[in-house]
Amino acid sequence: MKKINMLVSGFLFLVPLTAKATPSTQIWIPSTDIQQYKTFHLNVDNYVAAEKNSNGSWKAPVYDIGPTMGVFAGKTVQGEAGFDIIKAGVPADSYPLYLHAKAATPEGAMFSGSPALALGGYNFGLKKNITDQNIVYGLAAKTLPKVGRLSAGYYAGNDKVLLDENGKKANTGLLLSWDRTISEISDKLWAAVDYQGGDSSMGALSFGASWAFAPNTSVIFGYDIYNNAKVAGADTYTVQLDINF
């Protein structure tokens, strides 16, 4: 499943508004999921403002498309890597390429009852101190009967880019999520709520649901509430298409 970025003050126009190079994710934050070895995944994500910004303007829509591929498969640890092309109607669109990678171990792989663990990075942009958010993170997840999967972790990024509205560092924060297949209704229905801490444009509470239209194709319909509207702008609706080849 799925993902966003921006700067503040005089730098606000330089970088993409709410867009994130996407490893395997929930609605917004990374997950401990990993793309299977030699399988190819394509995500097509759209973010559209739910209302006008406080100054009466509309935040430009964000379009994010990119592949993720399983690149490593050990007995307990797997790896994935990929890239995204992000367009947000801003000058930083001249540098639209963002990289991501992740290594993870599934639940029960290390010992009976062990949690899933993931270590990865995303939003590795190629323009120094403009698009290079360079976020690294660690996550742990555990699935509980009836409840679903609970995930928790922490992230840190480039403190020259991830800033609050006053230009102060806002480059670290918690990662939290709940997700579950709603099998009581259909095995095709999945729901999630996730949270990314911090007062940069990365901070957000997101929730949504996904429907699998085919064994290899699903669509997420979600909503993103940003921690700091002065930096990230208005909340957004998101539609995220995921296809496995």
**How would you write the pLDDT of the chain (245 residues) with one tens digit per residue?**
444 443 322 333 333 334 455 568 899 999 999 999 999 999 999 999 999 988 888 988 999 999 999 999 998 999 999 999 999 887 788 999 999 999 999 999 999 999 999 999 999 999 999 999 999 999 999 999 999 999 999 999 999 999 999 999 999 999 999 999 999 999 999 999 999 999 999 999 999 999 999 999 999 999 999 999 999 999 999 999 999 98
Residue 121: partners with Cβ closer than 8 Å, 6 or more residues away: 100, 101, 102, 134, 135, 136, 137
Residue 148 falls inside a structural domain: yes
Amino acid at 124: F
- Residue 143 is assigned to a structural domain of this protein: yes
Residue 202 lies in a domain: yes
Q: How many residues does the chain have?
A: 245
For residue 77, tell me if it sits in a domain: yes
Residue 35 lies in a domain: yes
Structural domain that includes position 47: 9-244
pLDDT of 15 reads 36
Residue 1 lies in a domain: no
Question: Has residue 4 been placed in a domain?
Answer: no
Count of domains observed in the chain: 1
Question: Which pLDDT score is estimated for 18?
Answer: 43
CATH number of the domain within which 191 lies? 2.40.160.40
CB 4 within 8 A of CB 84: no
Token representation of residue 51:
């209302």
Q: Which of 25, 75, 59, 31 is nearest to 45 (CA)?
A: 25
Q: What are phi and psi of 121, to 5 degrees?
A: -150, 150
Note whether residue 206 is domain-resident.
yes
